[in-house]
Amino acid sequence: MSVVKNPGSASKWYLPGITIGLVSTFSTMIKNLFGRNKMITLNYPEEKYEYGPRFKGNHILTVKKDGSLRCTACMLCATNCPAQCIKIHAAEHNDPTVEKYPISYEIDILRCVFCGYCEEACPVDAIRMGPEWQTPALSGSNFTYDIRYLAYRPNLKGGIQSRLDDEERHKVGI
Amino acid sequence: MPKCKINGKEVDVPQGTTIIEAFKASGQEIAHYCWHPGLSVAGVCRLCMVQIEGQPKLQIACNTEVKEGMVINNNSETVKDTVRWGLDFHLINHPLDCPICDQAGECGLQEQYMQFGKYDPEMAEHKVKKCKVVDLGPTVVLDSERCILCSRCVRFTDEVSKTHELGIFERGDRSEIGTFDGKPLNNKYSLNTVDICPVGALTSKDFRFRQRVWYLKEHNTICTGCSTGCNVKVYYNEEGCWRVKPRYNPDINGYWMCDEGRDIYKFINKKNRLQEITMTEKGVSKVFQAEELLPQLGLELKNAVQKNPESVALILTGQYSCEEYQSLLNLMVKSWGLKNVFHWVNHPESMEQFDGLLLRGDKNPNTKGLLNELDLLSLTQTWKDLEEKLHRNLIKHLIVAGPENLATFSDVKEKLKLFSSANKLIWLSAGIFEGVSSVCSQVVQIPTKTFFEKEGSYINHKGMKQRVTPGVEIVKSALSLCEFVEGLHHDNKGAHFQDMDSALVDTKLKEPLKENFFTATRGSL
Amino acid sequence: MAEANIQNKNNLFQLSPEGKEFVQGELSRYENKYSAIIPCLYRCQKENQGWVSPACIRYLSQIMEIPEAHIWEVAKFYTMFNKEPVGRLHIQVCCNISCALNGGRELADHLCQTYSLNAGEVSSDGMLTISRVECLGSCGTAPMMQINESYHENLNPEKAEQIINELRAKYGS
Amino acid sequence: MEVKLLTEHYHRPEYRKLSGYKLYGGYQVLAKALQMEPKTIIEEVKASGLRGRGGAGFPTGMKWGFLPSNHEPRYLLCNADEGEPGTFKDRLMMEKAPHQLIEGMIISAYAIGSQKSYIYVRGEYFDSIRILREALAEAYKAGLLGKKILGSNFSHDMDVYSGAGAYICGEETGMISSLEGLKGQPKLKPPFPALQGYLKKPTIVNNVETLAAVVPIVRDGAKVYRQNGTEKSPGTKLFSVSGNVVRPGNYEVPLGLPLKELIFGICGGLKPGRKLKAVIPGGSSAPVLTAEEALRAHLDYESLAQMGTMLGSGAVIVIDDSHCMVDLLGVIAHFYHHESCGQCTPCREGTGWIDKILHSILSGQGRLQDIHLLERVSEHMMGKTICALSDAAAMPVLSFVNKFREEFEFYVREGRSKVRGVSHAQM
């Protein structure tokens, strides 16, 4: 609890306080004017802060060499998700070596708590937490990310490749 | 009654019991794959090994009968080691595709490995490659790599369905189950092979990839697809029902059920259901709440009956529970004095058919219950009488407790044509049938609850009374016939909901679900 | 020949009248009719250029009234029923232990090389198939090979070649 | 020192025919037997101590005694599905003296009261099958088979059934399955074939040699038969010697003969310049003996069992020092992988696993722990399955690895054979 002392007589006259405040303000302003690289604040949104590589931002669905989704629709991410924000609908793939794939994969990002459990649960490196986090939108429906956004949004440049190779997997019988 | 000791516990079993049955009876755990109580003993998985005092070698529990004074254990180090290795032998060529395997979550291999497994795989060689995603027929898909060759499915087609489509071809670790040269596995019980498959080798086309099993809850009920009344489990979640599996009942269906019965979940689901109470007059439909429409309708009908009993007719199908018939008939026949009650038979020509195993030609779950109720009130009018009365335009008001499962009523269209001579049709049904609203000048459509949403009892062809309990609400405004009657008879709520004679009711249905249904009996072998 | 075999795969198969009689005879010969499967499969193999095709199974199933899956199980289980077309001379070289001690495997490799065939393959003229097989019960006279129904024992590469060439000339004409 | 009790007349070509067989006392024993009480014959066989010659060495008289005493139809099956690598004695017996087998079978059938018998011959033995069929036709014609044999009240039918190439059909229940027109997969025991065998009827399955040996036993009596052999393993036995000896072939010798004498005496020893490395004394499934052990060994059931191996079917495979044991074990393992019927999991998967491990060792890709793994896999296959095939597959692995461990370790370490100098892949 903050304790308010009885103001002394000197401080009843506010000028010293104001002066000290102005000195602080102007000294910072001058420092910022002449040493812009040392400035603490950023000019958001023109400038953006670079987070560490392990930052858990918006999800990315990785793709295989041929550009199709890596995800096998096993739903382990959805099962593990504490916020229950992942919805997957699976279907049978024409290629018998693929078998199962998601026809829809939706993340309700407003419910997401960015815990990263989905990434941990994924057995095939199909979902990763990316670096982005500034994703404003105008309507509520824009916060439900679908496959097109999760895997092929423009800044992913055609998709991030998964570390796991299908052929290798099949060779060892997994 | 030989007595034996299993893991130190005294067990008394009938003569001729095998050790594995004694284990089950005494509630002790034993690993096994190939043994199934409904099939012959194959003894090939070699997992149910037990040590019997006085015998040098381990024996398999499924092929050894209990003898007086046997001392059996399966918790010694030798047995545990054998089972650990036995499981490892099963797994060395089993693909690690649990994430995309439909069986995951109810898989015998997963569960038993967790319980008895070795936990340090030593197989460093390449696994044997076999065919994946083999289309076995209209209902089943095979993945040969996942198959552990327990031969349950082959024994099923040989011993139960007797259709002999499946076989194990080749030998050694090249063995594969399959059908001859692409001949389809196409019998009326084919999906039982999926149920008894302890791994994900056989999967149902209908259920494949639709849901992960751990999202599903199960509800014990009976199948209303025909008059056999097989005991089943319906698996559902918040999105609806997904599949039906048989539940053991030695008196009715044993371990099996037919493929036709597995489709009954479809008519429960919301998209196939009548959603609202509507009244259509001159092509204009209006949605009503039950409270506003039914009392008024009740008054109207009551007056009509009392003015001229011949002008109102009630048509009943064998699809509702005994309690519903009782309450409807109590109101209309006993208190109003209605005489025109008719039984709508959907397949009169095949009513008595039976395929020798489970499937019956009578596609109604409660024909017997209905006939009992009609007999009690000595209502003996036949369908012919109805036809005649309709032709003579005697009937103005028609109340039809129509089909719940429209798939088994191929004659709805033709019957509706017959009904069109009435002035007002009150159509109670769970499903949607196109064109009902324009049959008569005034049509009231009332959605009914399916067997999955209500409490009641059904009497099967043998006269066995079985009780069902409500699973989950699917259509909010649906009514059971009891509730419909309550609505009509607004001043005397619930009076017609008669007590059921609970002595006859199958008590097995009353077992409460275990607390955590994700692990309860899921995938139990 | 090879083409004929491929055609055969799709075509319907029928036994000769004597073959049919044989099948009927075998069906009544044993205590249960399933015992007749193996002899009847041999007969089909003989009349179908040395191999058992699915068409043979379908045919047998029909005349024996036994489910196809069962006959196919039996045919697949036993190695002496060829499930793929073979040459007119089916050369089976034993590579099991006693023969291996005396150069059976080398003999098989040598023959494969000489006739530039892989094991199990049919030569382009449809004459030869060389297979490596397990013990044929002629261990004291190793290495040995079986050509169709007869044994040829105490072989060396030259002798084996000579036998094959002679038979080839005989069967070819 | 050969003792030709069964094979005395095998060198005579006419012995194959009924007329020739009769010249040398053929079917006289049958006539004698038909005068005897069936029980007396069983007692005689029991007293002779005759043990099954097919591999397991189970006392024949005792086996016959397991039959139920009722009058249900029962079957006698002759196991001529000789598949054990290294064995070729049954083929000799069927081709040289088919009537000897038939006579032995009729006597045995009379003893156990069977009306019907089958000779199950492996499919590859086309010649044997042909010869047996001819002999059967002759016997039927001469009234030796069929109704009222030789004027007695005993009737018997016999047939030849051809297998189709499956080692497992040499196992008695596998053979019964095969004869019933199923896959030749062994059946669960109990019930044992003596109670429920072929078509669920009581069935006795005996090896060719066992059934043929009934003839001299009934002819001379158990006492005379016991003059040969040892106390617990009486009589003579045919040994099929193969591998690296000068004179391989079938030799009939009394049981208990030193293995050394068989190899170096009768078979003329090894090829010049070669040294004995190992001997497999009872077909490929028997554990191997090192040279030193082989020189001490005696050919009878007990003493071989004491050395941790077995007499099996009497197939002596002699291995000289030019052969790599890893390579040979690879051959054996491949055989069992190929022949496992696929019914029981430990055998189906274990044989495949062992084959693959050996394959990777032979191609120079082995790991040191693989040797230990081979042993562990084999140990866990032993005694865990319906039939003995998984034991048969495991025993050679255990014995090869145990007795020639340094060769295996060298192969894994260097990626090449200690004997041949190169890896299997390079050969």
Which of D234, D312, D297 minimizes the C-alpha distance to D264?
Answer: D297
Residues 374-413 of chain D whose Cβ lies under 8 A from any Cβ of chain B: 376, 380, 383-386
Element (H, E) at B281: strand B277-281
CA distance D46 to chain B (A): 26
Residue partners of A18: CB distance under 8 A and separation at least 6: none
Please give the order of strands across the beta sheet that includes C128-133: C128-133, C89-94, C145-147, C150-152
Verify C-D touch: 3 or more CB pairs within 8 A.
Answer: yes
Check if A95 contacts B (Cβ < 8 Å): no
Q: What is the nearest CA distance from D411 to chain B, expressed in angstroms?
A: 18
Quickly tell me which residue has 């106390």 as its tokens.
D231
CB within 8 Å of chain D, chain B residues 167-186: 168, 170-175
Distance from CA of A69 to the nearest CA of B (A): 15
Residues A119 and A151 placed together within one structural domain of the fold: yes
- Going residue by residue through chain D, which has 427 residues, state the pLDDT in tens, using 9 for 90 and above: 789 999 999 999 999 999 999 999 999 999 999 999 999 999 999 999 999 998 888 999 999 999 998 878 999 999 999 999 999 999 999 999 999 999 999 999 999 999 999 999 999 999 999 999 999 999 999 999 999 999 999 999 999 999 999 999 999 999 999 999 999 999 998 899 999 999 999 999 999 999 999 999 999 999 999 999 999 999 999 999 999 999 999 999 999 999 999 999 999 999 999 999 999 999 999 999 999 999 999 999 999 999 999 999 999 999 999 999 999 999 999 999 999 999 999 999 999 999 999 999 999 999 999 999 999 999 999 999 999 999 999 999 999 999 999 999 999 999 999 998 888 777 6
Q: Report the first-to-last Cα separation within chain B, whole angstroms.
A: 26
- Closest residue in B to D358 (Cα) is B125
Nearest-neighbour CA in chain C from D176: distance (Å)? 10
Of B46, B123, B168, the CB nearest to D385: B46
Q: What's the CA gap between D200 and D194, in Å, rounded?
A: 10
Q: Return the pLDDT at B458.
A: 95
Torsion of CA A30, A34, A37, A42, to 10 degrees: 40
Residue A52 has a pLDDT of 84
Architecture of domain C2-77: Orthogonal Bundle (1.10)
Domain membership of residue A71 (yes or no) is yes
Nearest chain B alpha carbon to A100? B100
Parallel, antiparallel or unpaired: strands B217-222 and B341-344? unpaired
The burial class, CB within 10 Å (0-12 / 13-18 / 19+), for C127 is: middle
- In B313-458, which ranges are continuous DSSP H helix? 322-329, 367-376, 383-391, 412-419
Residue C164 distance to chain B (closest CA, Å) = 30
Distance from CA of B48 to the nearest CA of A (A): 27
User: Model confidence over B437-466: pLDDT tens digits?
Assistant: 889 999 999 999 999 999 999 999 999 999
B residues 176..215 contacting A (CB < 8 A): 208-210, 212, 214-215
Do residues D320 and D270 touch, judged by C-beta distance below 8 A?
yes
Residue A59 tokens, joined = 């999800």
Residues of C in contact with D327 (CB under 8 A): 100
Q: Are A77 and A133 in the same domain?
A: yes
Same domain, A95 and A165: yes
In terms of domains, do A19 and A88 share one?
no
Boundaries of every domain in chain C: 2-77, 89-172
Interchain contact, C72 vs B167, CB within 8 Å = yes
Amino acid at D121: V
| Chain A environment of B209 (Cβ under 8 Å) | 73, 90-92, 100
Residues facing D165 on adjacent strands: none
The domain defined by D236-320 carries CATH number 2.60.40.10: no
For B333, how many CA atoms within 13 A lie in the half-sphere containing its CB? Answer: 20
Q: Is the same domain home to A128 and A71?
A: yes
Q: What is the mean pLDDT of residues C52-80?
A: 95
From the list A73, A75, A173, the residue facing B127 with the nearest CB is: A173
Can you tell me the distance from the alpha carbon of C70 to that of C36, in angstroms, rounded to the nearest whole number?
Answer: 12
Q: Does residue A47 lie in a domain region?
A: no
For the stretch B345-366, pLDDT in tens is 988 888 889 999 999 999 999 9
Residues of C in contact with D158 (CB under 8 A): none
CATH number at residue A120: 3.30.70.3270
Nearest to C69 among B167, B170, B171 (CB): B167
What is d(CA B379, CA A105) in angstroms, rounded to the nearest whole number? Answer: 58
Q: What is the DSSP letter of A131?
A: S
d(CA C55, nearest CA chain B) in Å: 9
Is residue B456 within 8 Å of residue B467, measured between CB atoms?
Answer: yes
Closest CA to B353 of B477, B226, B243: B226
One-letter amino acid at D305 equals A
For residue C10, what pLDDT band results from cuts at 50, 70 and 90?
A: low
CB contact under 8 A, B100 and A99: yes
* B388 touches A at CB < 8 Å: no
**CA-CA distance, A20 to A16, in Å (whole number)?**
6
DSSP annotation string for D61-76: HHHHHTS-SS----EE
User: Cα dist. D373→B85, B400, B480, D183, D346 in Å?
Assistant: 12, 73, 66, 32, 15
> How far is it, in rounded angstroms, from Cα D178 to Cα D205?
13
Q: What is the pLDDT of residue D385?
A: 95
Cβ contacts of D339 on chain C, cutoff 8 Å: 134
B81 has a chain D CB within 8 A of its CB: yes
Say yes or no: D174 contacts chain B, CB-CB below 8 A.
no
Contacts of B187 in chain C (CB under 8 A): none
Chain A nearest C-alpha distance from B90 (Å): 14
pLDDT of amino acid C172: 78
Rg (CA), chain C: 18
Q: What are A31-84's pLDDT values in tens digits?
A: 988 887 888 888 888 887 778 888 899 999 999 988 899 999 999 999 999 999
Q: Which amino acid is at D398?
A: L
| Nearest Cα residue to D146 out of D132, D154, D33 | D154
The domain of A13 spans: 9-41
Q: With respect to residue A124, please indicate whether it lies within any of the assigned structural domains.
A: yes
Q: Do C69 and B170 touch (CB under 8 A)?
A: no
Facing A76 at nearest CB: one of B99, B132, B145: B99
Q: Are B366 and B437 in contact (CB under 8 A)?
A: no
Q: How many domains does chain A have?
A: 2
Query: How much is the pLDDT for A134?
Result: 80
| CB pairs A-B closer than 8 Å | 42
The CATH 3.10.20.600 domain(s) of chain D lie at 236-320
Pick the CATH number of D325-426 from 1.10.1040.20, 1.20.1440.230, 3.40.50.620, 3.40.30.10: 1.20.1440.230
Six-digit token string for A57 = 């931002």
Domains observed in chain B: 3-91 (3.10.20.740), 125-270 (3.30.70.20), 273-510 (3.40.50.740)
Antiparallel, parallel or unpaired: β D236-243 and D315-320: parallel
**Does A51 reside within a domain?**
no
Chain C interface includes B136 (CB < 8 A): no
pTM of the full structure: 0.91
**Residue C135: closest C-alpha in chain D:** D85
How far is the C-alpha of B217 from the C-alpha of B141, rounded, in Å?
A: 24
For residue B386 the two structure tokens come to 């109805």
> Thinking of the domain D13-225, which architecture would CATH place it in?
3-Layer(aba) Sandwich (3.40)
Q: By the CB < 8 Å criterion, does A61 face chain B?
A: no
Question: Under an 8 A CB cutoff, do D386 and B44 touch?
Answer: yes
CB nearest B172 (choices: D348, D360, D376) = D348
Query: Residue A174: its pLDDT value, please?
Result: 60
Torsion of Cα atoms, B146 then B38 then B87 then B143, to 10°: 0
Q: Nearest-CA residue of chain C relative to B164?
A: C67
Q: How confident is the model at residue A172 (pLDDT cuts 50, 70, 90)?
A: low
Find, in chain D, the residue whose alpha carbon is nearest to that of B92: D349
- Counting as low any pLDDT under 50, the low residues of chain B are 492-525
Mean pLDDT, rounded, of chain A: 87
Going by beta carbons, is chain C in contact with chain A, meaning 3 or more pairs sit under 8 Å apart? no
Q: Does D356 touch chain B (CB under 8 A)?
A: yes
CATH 1.20.1440.230 residue ranges for chain D = 325-426
- Touching B: which chains, 3+ CB pairs < 8 A? A, C, D
Domain assignment present for residue A49? The answer is no
**CATH T-level assignment (fold) for domain C89-172:** Glutaredoxin (3.40.30)
Asked if A99 lies within 8 A of B132 by C-beta distance, the reply is yes
Residue of chain C minimizing CA distance to B165: C69
> Could you tell me if B133 lies within 8 Å of chain A, comparing CB atoms?
yes
Backbone Cα Rg of chain D? 22
